Amino acid sequence: MSQLRAVITDHGFPNLRHEESTFAAAGVGLVVAQCKTPEEIIAAAREADALLVQWAPVNAAVIAALAKCKVIVRYGIGVDNVDLAAAKSRGIAVCNVPDYGVHEVAEHAVSLALALARQLPQIDARLRAGTWKIVPDRPMPSLREMTFATAGFGRIARSAHAMMRGFDGKRIAYDPFVPSDIMAMEGVEKVEIEDLFTRADILSLHLPLIPETKHFVNAARLAEMKKTAIVVNTARGPLIDTPALAQALHDGVIAGAGLDVFETEPFPADHPLRAAPRALLTSHVAWYSESSIPRLQKLAAEEAVRGLRGEPLKNQVNK
């Protein structure tokens, strides 16, 4: 494998020790670039046997220019920046790393939900402004009286349900691909999409971004929710029509929203959600912990080596 070469198209990591050691042990040369455009990727990776990609746009033109590539590995879960169909047509496997930060993302989703349910941002702001008051300004039901709902029932959603179990509330989920008996084993009731929105007190989104799920949360569905409901998104930004969400918060259609992902990132300075009441916004940090970064790097490099060796891949997304 000494003639093989892996190219990291771009990255934001503090170091590449895991990649360097993994590829060195496999006899694979490593080239590191910081590409931002398709043209820069082509210049850096035309002769690459494997690509590791964080944010760089690997579009159809890039894939057409790859002379020898066998596998493309995306650092993370989403693969929106890789043209899956073009890669498949060239016989190039595209893989993600779905399991590097499951617990972290679930922690963040639950943290946003709890902060909003207990109205912590609003009470903190009220106190700092000089008001001492021992009851909240808005209704605050006990968590044990609330229904925690997830759209999706994959690894992250299941982890979030496990965390919420201790609050002893009702837990429901919508996922057409998971049987009700599997959910029941974890104490979760399977519901249809209509019931998801009408019954949820806290709705946490854990869906992939596909054409059918874009704007899964929109003005019509927000109008179906309880006025005390909270929406949380740590999955993919376009799952929510965010201008519609901002309007719903302004109008009191729902009680709050916690978002870590957005339709456009970085989040635009003039977006109406910035001025919306009871919106708790974080900057795509749900995946992060001191251990998740090296775990992501190690798993991505190991998957690339499997692809170069022709071994079974663990997380190919364009079969």
| Residue spans of alpha helices (H) in 178-291 | 180-184, 193-199, 219-224, 242-251
CB atoms within 10 A of CB 98: 17
- Give me 111's structure tokens: 């943290």
How far apart are alpha carbons 70 and 15 in whole angstroms?
Answer: 25
- Give me 274's structure tokens: 């910035």
| 142 φ/ψ angles, rounded to the nearest 5 degrees | -70, 145
How big, in percent rounded to 5, are the helix, strand and coil portions of the chain? 40, 15, 45
Q: From the candidates 165, 215, 284, 309, which is the catalytic residue?
A: 284
Residues linked to residue 173 through DSSP beta bridges, in sequence order: 150, 190
- Residue 149 in contact with residue 174, Cβ under 8 Å? yes
Task: From residue 161, give the alpha-carbon distance in Å to each of 39, 40, 194, 204, 263.
Answer: 44, 43, 20, 10, 26
Residue 177 CA from chain centroid, whole number = 19
Catalytic (active site) residue 284: yes
Q: From the candidates 206, 221, 236, 278, which is the catalytic residue?
A: 236
Q: In what order do the strands lie in the sheet with 29-32?
A: 29-32, 5-8, 50-53, 71-74, 93-95
Residues linked to residue 230 through DSSP beta bridges, in sequence order: 202, 256
Catalytic (active site) residue 265: yes
Catalytic (active site) residue 108: no
Catalytically annotated residues = 236, 265, 284
